[in-house]
């Protein structure tokens, strides 16, 4: 396919996902299945165009004066990819499957390309209804934070301490040009190419040998700062596919007891294979038999640490899932807040006197972060916040610089602040 034909295809996919309010991945998959002539490079290029257009949906619609998929594509090509009018016109010829030629109003808008009169939520490419919370989280930096969340994300991996070291792994993957992580002592980073894709790391021998897992550096960092230690009893209460479970096992040096569970048993399925590959031997997976069943009832009040990777809107992962920010609705936020209260209540029953709960979200919204902890403390007088300085006092490195990202109750990471996804961490301790 020619570059112009790929743009036409991307506009078609955008039309489908916007009209049907479906995930971009589903629309792209259906498009590829119905057009077998498109090769893997074509599909990757089309996906990159679609995701980039969604990253800048609000600002592109503003500068082009329209929310049509074509307008979103034109705005993105000019603002995100930096194409000038001549380059865009060469792609929009109407010939050989190219999009129709530019209209006079489109030309005028591409020349002006102004956001001078745009409201802050448009400049930040954040949904309007979410802007008050977003602005509250970041204050005068909110627009810049939104712009950072609209960028592309790198690929991060976590070196598995049970099998290798970061330096050794960097040597094995040297052909892919890894960079050491800025914060996590186990992180290596790979920058995406022009098409938005990174190296095929899951095809590497060291991956099959369990030497590393793909995990954002922010996720690695909040797991490390949760404070798990060898010999402890630790619970990963919302384990899902087990990314943080595996990191906890490595931090505990395979010493102690580590329980992994999730209310949705289906999400735990990939963890079995990942555990076998990783060499983690202290993990016991507990599967709930029903919605109301507590699979950890016999160890209530015994855990040194309960890690709560809480269900949330995922606003901190918008770089990786740009379509998600335009599909989330107020009802979903309210539902997530209720879920967070429920899982924190479970954690409170499981942690022992003197133990801690590490509450983690991949969100930047105060309603899911500080507000959730404040509500929990209001319902549980026997718990108190662990000061950020104590959280950052880790034997795994010097994290004192992160103190500037402290919130009222915890720490807030973000692409602009830390170069990671937008993770939040707060720790609370149960009184003796």
Quick check: 33 pLDDT over 70? Answer: yes
The residues, any chain, with a CB within 8 Å of residue 27's CB and separated by 6 or more, are 13, 16, 17, 20, 50
Residue 156 annotated as binding site: no
More confident call, 67 vs 199: 67
Match 């918008």 to its residue by tokens. Answer: 318
Start-end of CATH 3.40.50.150 domains in the chain: 217-430
Cβ–Cβ under 8 Å, residues 327 and 23: yes
Q: What is the pLDDT of residues 225-277, one digit of tens each?
A: 999 999 999 999 999 999 999 999 999 999 999 999 999 889 999 999 999 99
Q: Is 177 left (phi over 0), alpha (psi -120 to 50) or beta?
A: left
Rounded Cα gap, residues 173 and 156, in angstroms: 13
Quick check: 92 pLDDT over 70? Answer: yes
pLDDT exceeding 90 applies to what percent of the chain? 90
Average pLDDT over residues 36-47: 87
Rounded Cα gap, residues 198 and 189, in angstroms: 10
Rounded Cα gap, residues 134 and 140, in angstroms: 11
Rounded Cα gap, residues 13 and 23, in angstroms: 11
Q: Is 12 left (phi over 0), alpha (psi -120 to 50) or beta?
A: alpha
Nearest Cα to 422, choosing from 160, 221, 194? 221
Exposed/middle/buried for 273, CB within 10 Å: 0-12, 13-18, 19+?
A: exposed
The CATH class of the 217-430 domain is alpha beta
What pLDDT sits at residue 346? Answer: 96
Based on the residue annotation, tell me whether 362 is a catalytic residue of this protein. yes
Quick check: 195 pLDDT over 70? Answer: no
Q: What is the DSSP letter of 130?
A: G
Q: What is the pLDDT of residues 7-26, one digit of tens each?
A: 999 999 999 999 888 899 99
Cβ–Cβ under 8 Å, residues 373 and 325: no
Written as six digits, the tokens of 262 are 């999730």
Rounded Cα gap, residues 426 and 419, in angstroms: 19
Question: What's 350-386 look like in SS3?
Answer: HEEEEEEEEEEECCCCHHHCHHHHHHHHHHCCCEEEC
Q: How confident is the model at residue 198 (pLDDT cuts 50, 70, 90)?
A: confident
The residues with which 159 forms a beta bridge, in sequence order, are 212
Q: What DSSP string runs through 113-171?
A: ---TT--HHHHHT--GGGHHHHHHHHGGGHHHHHHHHTS---EEEEE-TTT--HHHHHH
Written as six digits, the tokens of 11 are 């506009």
Start-end of CATH 1.10.940 domains in the chain: 3-118
Taking the alpha carbons at both ends of the chain, their separation in whole angstroms is 66
Rounded Cα gap, residues 29 and 47, in angstroms: 10
Written as six digits, the tokens of 25 are 């991945």
Rounded Cα gap, residues 336 and 322, in angstroms: 19
Residue 195 annotated as binding site: no
Average pLDDT over residues 266-290: 94
Nearest Cα to 252, choosing from 277, 224, 276, 213? 224
CATH number of 3-118: 1.10.940
Rounded to the nearest 10 degrees, what angle do helices 3-20 and 40-55 cross at?
60
Instruction: Report the chain's C-alpha Rg in angstroms.
Output: 23
Catalytic residue among 238, 257, 312, 362: 362
The residues, any chain, with a CB within 8 Å of residue 140's CB and separated by 6 or more, are none
């Amino acid at each position: 396919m020619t570059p112009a034909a790929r743009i036409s295809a991307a506009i078609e996919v955008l039309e489908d996902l916007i009209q049907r309010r479906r995930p971009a991945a589903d629309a792209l998959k259906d498009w590829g299945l119905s057009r077998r002539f498109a090769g893997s490079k074509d599909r990757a290029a089309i996906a990159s165009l679609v995701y980039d257009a969604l990253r800048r949906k609000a600002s592109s619609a503003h500068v082009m004066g329209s929310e049509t998929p074509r307008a979103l594509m034109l705005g993105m090509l000019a603002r995100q990819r930096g194409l000038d009018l001549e380059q865009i016109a060469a792609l929009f010829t109407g010939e050989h499957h190219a999009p129709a030629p530019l209209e006079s109003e489109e030309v005028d808008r591409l020349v002006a390309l102004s956001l001078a009169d745009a409201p802050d939520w448009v400049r930040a490419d954040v949904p309007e209804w979410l802007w008050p919370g977003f602005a509250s989280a970041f204050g005068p930096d909110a627009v810049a934070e939104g712009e950072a969340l609209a960028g592309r994300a790198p690929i991060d991996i976590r070196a598995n301490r049970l099998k290798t070291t970061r330096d050794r792994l960097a040597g094995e993957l040297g052909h892919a040009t890894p960079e050491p992580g800025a914060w996590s002592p186990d992180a290596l980073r790979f920058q995406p190419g022009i098409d938005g894709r990174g190296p095929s790391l899951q095809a590497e021998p060291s991956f099959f040998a369990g030497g590393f897992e793909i995990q954002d550096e922010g996720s690695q960092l909040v797991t490390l700062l949760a404070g798990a230690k060898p010999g402890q009893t630790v619970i990963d209460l919302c384990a899902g596919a087990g990314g943080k479970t595996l990191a906890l096992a490595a931090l505990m040096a395979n010493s102690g007891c580590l329980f992994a569970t999730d209310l949705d048993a289906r999400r735990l399925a990939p963890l079995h294979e990942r555990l076998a590959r990783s060499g983690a031997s202290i993990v016991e997976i507990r599967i709930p038999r029903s919605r109301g069943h507590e699979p950890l009832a016999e160890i209530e009040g015994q855990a040194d640490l309960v890690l709560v990777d809480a269900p949330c809107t995922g606003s901190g992962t918008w770089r990786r899932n740009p379509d998600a920010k335009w599909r989330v609705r107020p009802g979903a936020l309210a539902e997530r807040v209720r879920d967070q209260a429920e899982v924190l209540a479970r954690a409170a029953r499981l942690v022992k006197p003197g133990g801690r709960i590490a509450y983690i979200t991949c969100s930047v919204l105060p309603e899911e972060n500080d507000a959730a902890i404040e509500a929990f403390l209001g319902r549980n007088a026997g718990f108190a916040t662990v000061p950020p300085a104590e959280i950052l006092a880790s034997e795994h490195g010097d994290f004192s610089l992160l103190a500037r990202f402290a919130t009222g109750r915890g720490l807030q990471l973000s692409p602009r602040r830390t170069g990671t996804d937008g993770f939040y961490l707060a720790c609370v301790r149960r009184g003796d």
